[in-house]
Structures are given as C-alpha cells and as structure tokens.
Amino acid sequence: MMTRRLFVRGSAIVMAGIGAAPSWLARAAEGARGKRKTLVAIFQRGAADSLNVVVPFSEKRYYELRPTIGIAAPSGQNSGPAQNSAIDLDGRFGLHPQLQPLKAFWDKGQLAIVEATGSPDPSRSHFDAQDYMESGTPGKTSGDGWLNRALLPAGPETSPVRAIAMGAQLPRTLRGDRAAIAVNDMQSFQVGNQDTSSILESMYAGSADSRLERTGKDAFAAMKMIRSITQGPNNPPGNQQYFQGGELGRSLQQVARLIKADVGVEAAFAEVGGWDHHGNEPGQLANLLRQFGQALSAFCQDMGDRMDDIVLVTMSEFGRTAQENGNNGTDHGHGGAMMVLGGPVRGGKIYGRWPGLATEQLYEGRDLAVTTDFRAVLSELVAGHLGQTNLAQVFPGFTPGDRLGLLRS
C-alpha cells in the first residue's frame, strides 16, 4: 500500500513540471467565457454497479458473469418481459429499465455516457476512493476539492452562492479557497430575526478562528441572498417528479430554484447514497435508479432552455465486481461509468474505449478496467464549460490526453 502511494505521489510531482496544455484546451475555454454557466456534479456514494446501470448487453460474457442479477438484453434480442430488459442505446449498451426517463435526453442528443471510466488508483476502499475522486488527486487526499479549484478567482461580480452543495455538510469536492456553501434546506437557511442575525454575524466576523470567521462570513452573505429568493413564489413544473426523485430530487429542485433566480450559481453539488449493494441488489438498485432517473429528468425539464448553459455530470467512487457474488449482489470493483447531461453536451453517444469482460480483460481478473481517467472527463467540462484553463491547478499531476469531445463547443 505504501509503495503504491509513494509511487503515485512521486509521479504527480514529475508530471506537474511537464504540463503543456493541449491545443483544444485554449479553444474550448475561449468559447466558455462571457456567459454564465453552471456545472452540476452528482456523486453516487457507495460505488454504483455501472454494469447494471449501463448494460453491455451485446457481451455474452456479461450474462455468464451475472446469471442471476444480469439485466436482460432489450426485448426482441433476448427473452424476458420488456419492463425488465435494458433500454437499447446503440445496439451494444442499454440503460437499466428504470432509467426510461433519461432515454428522451439521449434521443435529443443531450445525454452522453462515458464507459469504463474511473480512477487510476487501485483502492477498493469507499472512503479513500471517494476522497481521491472528490479531491481530484487519485492516490492522495488533498484538503480541497476539484470543483472548488475549478472556479475562477472571485471578482466584484462573484456571487456568494456561486458554489453550493446540497446537504448538511460541505463535501470535499467543494472545499477550498473559493467561497462555497452547504445548504440543507433553503427555507430554513436563516438565523433568528434581523437583530439576532446581525449580532451573530458580527460575532463570527470577529472570531479569532479563521475557519469559523470565513465560514460565518460566507454563510451570512449566502443567507441574505437565499432569503431574497425564498420569499418569491415557487411552483416549478414537475414538482411531482422531483418528489419521486427522492433525496436527489429534493436537492436538484433546490439547485434549480437557485439557478432560475439568476443569482450566479457556477457550481453545484448533490449526492445520493445507498449504492453499496453487496446483497439483494436487483430490487434495491431498481429503486435507486428509478429515483435517480426521475430526479435528473425533473431537473432538465424544470430548467427548460436554461439547459443550454448547464452541464450535469455523475460519478461514483468505483464500479463493482464484474461477477455477481453469492448474495445476489456485487463486491467492490474498479471501472465504472459517468453520465454527462446538458444542452452543450454532444450526447447520444457512448464515449471511452470498452475494455471487454473476458477474464484477461478484467482489471485484476475481476473488475471492469479503467480506460478513461475520470479527470479526463471532468477536465473537458471544467475547461469547456467553466472556462478554467489552469488544469494543472484543478488536477495537479494530470495531463489530459486526446480530447473526448464531450462538449459541442
């Protein structure tokens, strides 16, 4: 373990010196400047079983590895009732049947999927792998997160709610120098009355503890802005669908409300847990994916034309074993899949090189291999959508290779 880490750390230092930006980067960033764009990151905590989310149904080997929990090929190609079979995307891969609401965005060319993506770090620890992915530094945990570093330096116009995480905690992804806030519930994001609030505000402003001083300052600034928003009416279309989207639906509904208020949200983070299906996977995964699909779909519909300026990306710390385990579930694996969704996305396409599922093609003989570093995916979005060209700052030690071309610009 130690050697592996030392190696990764060592190589990071070497790579930092090379850092010649590929030429597409400058062009991509050029297009992103000027307009107010939002990048929404969604973390599926617990290691989502990508092989049952985006099903490689044309691989016979898939059904050999998963005789019990495998998702049937799209009806017509294999037996099984239609509602239990994958939704065909490109003749090779299909969405889990519960992700039907996302099919429309695939057809419209707004949804792209990156297959066999993940971290080069071999850890199968949820906690390390989440930390690494959120830090954007595989093999080590840094104090701040990639999405915070992806934000441009603050200017006079910068909003106090430019970076917002839904939840009671600020996730590592958004920790760092740029002001970022965690909001559990917009309605209750305030303190006492005007008087008590301003006294407390001044107490925090005068705190000798710099962390508390800064967090307090950010919190009160954001509070004032959010109060002005929550005083207005809120009747988004698709309220019901957000509700069916569970925890994630509720989070995205609030993100949507902020975006619609035009208060300068640049980065948003939402998370959904419960993907660690070591046993009885099929029912649990179906439930989660139903909510997942409803939540994303409700958000896109609510955003309407604003989707032209929004990119949403999903990630999970690693994938799961290619072979099902003995309990109708899967254990910790390696490669997974990411979804990229939004108006600027060149969707309707599966990205990334598919490594195959034969034993010798699997990572350590058991897991889907990683052929696309998750940082390659995020780099394109950070540069092309947020206009952050200093990728060495966002992903130190990582040089993106050939462009995937996830965004139209």
Partner 1 sequence: MRRTALLALASALCLAYANKKSADEARQFLKQIPNNEKITQALNRLTFGPRPGDAEQVRSQGLKKWIDLQLHPERIPENPVLAEKLKTLDTLTMSAEQLVQNYPTPQIVKQMVAGQMPFPTDPDRRMMIEKLVAKAEKKQGQAEQANPDAPEAQPLADLLPREQIRTLRTGTPEQRMAAFQALTKDRQADVIAALPAGMRQGLFQFAPPELRRRIELANGPQQVVARDLMEGKLLRAIYSNRQLDEVLADFWFNHFNVFLDKGADRYLVTAYEREAIRPHVLGKFKDLLEATAKSPAMLFYLDNWQSVGPDAPQLRGAVPKKGKRGLNENYGRELLELHTLGVDGGYTQRDVTEVARCFTGWTINQPQRGGTFAFNRRTHDNGEKVVLGVTIPAGGGMADGEKVLDIVAHHPSTARFISRKLAQRFVADEPPPALVERMAQTFLKSDGDLREVMRTMLDSKEAWSEGAYRSKMKSPLEMVTSAVRAVNGNVDFAFALANQVAQLGQPLYRKQEPTGYSNSSKEWVNSAGLLARMNFALQLANDKVPGVKVDTAAGMTLGSPEFQKK
Give the shortest CB-364-to-partner 1 separation in angstroms: 7
Distance between CA atoms of 248 and 176, rounded to whole angstroms?
A: 24
Q: Quick one: which of 15, 152, 191, 261 contacts partner 1 (CB under 8 A)?
A: 191
Give the shortest CB-175-to-partner 1 separation in angstroms: 8
Decide whether 216 or 245 has the Cβ nearer to partner 1: 216
The SS3 assignment for 85 reads strand
Residue 292 · residue 251 · CB < 8 Å: no
Q: Which helix (H) or strand (E) covers residue 163, if one does? A: strand 163-166
Distance between CA atoms of 270 and 44, rounded to whole angstroms?
A: 9
Residue 87 · residue 101 · CB < 8 Å: no
The SS3 assignment for 290 reads helix
Give the shortest CB-246-to-partner 1 separation in angstroms: 14
**Of the listed pieces 92-100, 210-218, 227-235, 244-252, which binds partner 1 according to CB under 8 A?**
210-218
DSSP 372-391: EEHHHHHHHHHHHTT----H
Distance between CA atoms of 267 and 385, rounded to whole angstroms?
A: 11
Looking at residues 250 to 279 of the shown chain, list those that interact with partner 1 (rule: CB under 8 A).
Answer: 273-274, 278-279
Give the shortest CB-167-to-partner 1 separation in angstroms: 7
Distance between CA atoms of 188 and 223, rounded to whole angstroms?
A: 10
Bridge partners (DSSP) of residue 321 are 367
Residue 240 binds to partner 1 (criterion: CB under 8 A): no
Residue 329 binds to partner 1 (criterion: CB under 8 A): yes
* Total number of residues that touch partner 1 (CB under 8 A): 60
Residue 69 binds to partner 1 (criterion: CB under 8 A): yes
- In eight-state DSSP terms, residue 250 is H
For 215, the token pair is 């967090």
**Of the listed pieces 81-89, 323-331, 342-350, 354-362, which binds partner 1 according to CB under 8 A?**
323-331
Residue 190 binds to partner 1 (criterion: CB under 8 A): yes
Give the shortest CB-142-to-partner 1 separation in angstroms: 12
Distance between CA atoms of 405 and 174, rounded to whole angstroms?
A: 25
Q: Quick one: which of 170, 310, 376, 394 contacts partner 1 (CB under 8 A)?
A: 170
Residue 31 binds to partner 1 (criterion: CB under 8 A): no
Binding string, residues 101-140; x marks residues near partner 1 by CB under 8 A: ----------------------xxxxxx------------
Q: Give the contacts of 363 (CB within 8 A, at least 6 positions apart).
A: 333, 334, 335, 369, 370
Which residues are near partner 1 by CB under 8 A? 1-2, 5, 13, 16-17, 45-46, 68-69, 123-128, 143, 167-170, 175, 181-184, 188-192, 196, 199-200, 203-204, 207, 209, 211-213, 215-216, 218-219, 222-223, 273-274, 278-279, 324-329, 331-332, 364
